[in-house]
């Protein structure tokens, strides 16, 4: 937990935060409404005797009272998909609509891409991209298992992603669930900080800046880009969005989140950020008994 000391001044109730980081997470799943409604899924879980608790902010997110959530009847049938509660937030904030063109720029293994397809009633197109071929097979497997037929897969570096392969020139919405230092996954993966270094944070921040810029360029004017990470480092969060504000045509917008969270930072390590960064959300493990996440919502504006 030593690396987290750098966040002592920005996290309220820091010792409560550290204690939460040491507690293991419950087994969360998302109901896959492409295959079954919330009601049908809950009835199936009742029938097989698996207890559950529905998240207050999202009835499609459940914590299951079983140690093997992947071995339930509902999971075999693709009614549920193992996904951390807080990891279901970015797709909800992106708010994709049926019939739209949506780009998931960093999509593997597909938890959020298949969630986007479900939120769109599997109508429209979700282009699920990842630069890692090995992870693409997991993405394809999940898309098939969950019946997401609106999902198309591409394997490219999002930083210089070409739209030439499509018969349209911009997406309506884009999700950047960026590769990151994963500090916020510590409850699920106690080894998450083993290879932590400021050098790694700064090299991954360079990649994130390239991806967010391309995401904004590939999204139509008036369209939406959501930037998320599962890490606390401001260099990978507010500083990346600040870079986008300085280099691309976009603004940070508000969103409603039924989860307790802290606002985005407007300063870190002597670097000021735009005041609008306050509209971003920092979700800490001690606030809702979840993992950690950062989410910012951007609107693409006229050049």
Ligand X SMILES: C[S@@+](CC[C@H](N)C(=O)[O-])C[C@H]1O[C@@H](n2cnc3c(N)ncnc32)[C@H](O)[C@@H]1O
Residue ranges of the binding site: 106-112, 130, 157, 177
Q: Give the residue among 250, 172, 171, 240 at the shortest CA–CA distance from 212.
A: 240
**What span, in angstroms and rounded, lies between the C-alpha atoms of 169 and 172?**
10
Is the CB of 109 or the CB of 124 nearer to ligand X? 109
Pick one of 65, 95, 144, 157: the residue that binds ligand X (CB under 6 A): 157
**What span, in angstroms and rounded, lies between the C-alpha atoms of 136 and 199?**
27
Task: Name the pairing type of β-strands 58-64 and 80-82.
Answer: unpaired
Rounded least distance, CB 117 to ligand X, Å:
12
Q: Using CA of residue 28, residue 33, residue 36, residue 38, what is the dihedral sign?
A: positive
Residue with the two structure tokens 């994963």: 182
The size of the interface with ligand X (CB under 6 A), counted in residues, is 18
**What span, in angstroms and rounded, lies between the C-alpha atoms of 173 and 271?**
30
**What span, in angstroms and rounded, lies between the C-alpha atoms of 176 and 116?**
13
Binding of residue 298 to ligand X (CB under 6 A): no
Rounded least distance, CB 13 to ligand X, Å:
27
Rounded least distance, CB 46 to ligand X, Å:
28
Is the CB of 45 or the CB of 211 nearer to ligand X? 211
Is the CB of 157 or the CB of 278 nearer to ligand X? 157
Restricting to residues 159-188, name those near ligand X by CB under 6 A: 159, 177, 179
Binding of residue 135 to ligand X (CB under 6 A): yes
Residue nearest to ligand X (CB): 106
Core vs surface per residue 138-177: b (16+ CB within 10 A) or e: ebeebbebbbbebbebbeeebbebeeeebeeebbbbbbbb
**What span, in angstroms and rounded, lies between the C-alpha atoms of 269 and 80?**
42
The mark string for 37-66 relative to ligand X (x by CB under 6 A, - otherwise) is ------------------------------
State yes or no: is 230 an active-site residue: yes
Q: Give the residue among 27, 54, 28, 29 at the shortest CA–CA distance from 39.
A: 54
Binding of residue 122 to ligand X (CB under 6 A): no
Per annotation, catalytic residue among 21, 180, 182, 230: 230
Binding of residue 111 to ligand X (CB under 6 A): yes
Q: For binding to ligand X (CB under 6 A), which residues are involved?
A: 106-112, 130-132, 135, 157-159, 177, 179, 207, 211
Supply the residues annotated as catalytic: 230
């Amino acid at each position: 937990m030593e690396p987290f000391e750098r966040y002592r001044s920005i996290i309220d109730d820091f010792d409560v935060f550290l204690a939460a980081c040491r507690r293991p997470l419950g087994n969360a799943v998302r109901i896959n409404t492409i295959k079954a409604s919330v009601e049908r899924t809950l009835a199936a879980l009742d029938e097989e005797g698996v207890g559950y608790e529905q998240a207050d902010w999202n009835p499609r997110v459940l914590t299951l009272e079983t140690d093997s959530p992947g071995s339930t009847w509902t999971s075999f049938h693709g009614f549920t998909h193992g996904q951390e509660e807080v990891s279901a937030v970015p797709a909800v904030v992106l708010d994709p609509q049926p019939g739209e063109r949506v780009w998931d720029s960093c999509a593997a293994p597909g938890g959020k891409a298949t969630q986007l397809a479900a939120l769109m009633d599997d109508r429209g197109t979700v282009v699920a991209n990842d630069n890692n071929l090995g992870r693409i097979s997991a993405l394809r497997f999940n898309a098939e298992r969950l019946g997401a037929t609106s999902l198309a897969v591409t394997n490219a570096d999002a930083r210089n992603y070409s739209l030439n392969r499509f018969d349209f020139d911009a997406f309506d919405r884009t999700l950047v669930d960026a590769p990151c230092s994963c500090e916020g996954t510590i409850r699920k993966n106690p080894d998450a900080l083993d290879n932590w270094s400021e050098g790694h944070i700064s090299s991954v921040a360079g990649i994130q800046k390239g991806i967010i810029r391309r995401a904004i360029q590939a999204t139509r004017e008036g369209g939406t880009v959501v930037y998320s990470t599962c890490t606390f480092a401001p260099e990978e969060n507010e500083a990346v969005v600040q870079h986008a504000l300085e280099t691309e045509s976009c603004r940070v917008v508000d969103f409603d989140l039924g989860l307790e969270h802290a606002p985005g930072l407007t300063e870190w390590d002597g670097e000021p950020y735009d005041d609008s960064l306050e509209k971003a959300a920092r979700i800490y493990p001690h606030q809702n008994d979840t993992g950690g996440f950062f989410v910012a919502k951007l609107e693409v504006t006229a050049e």
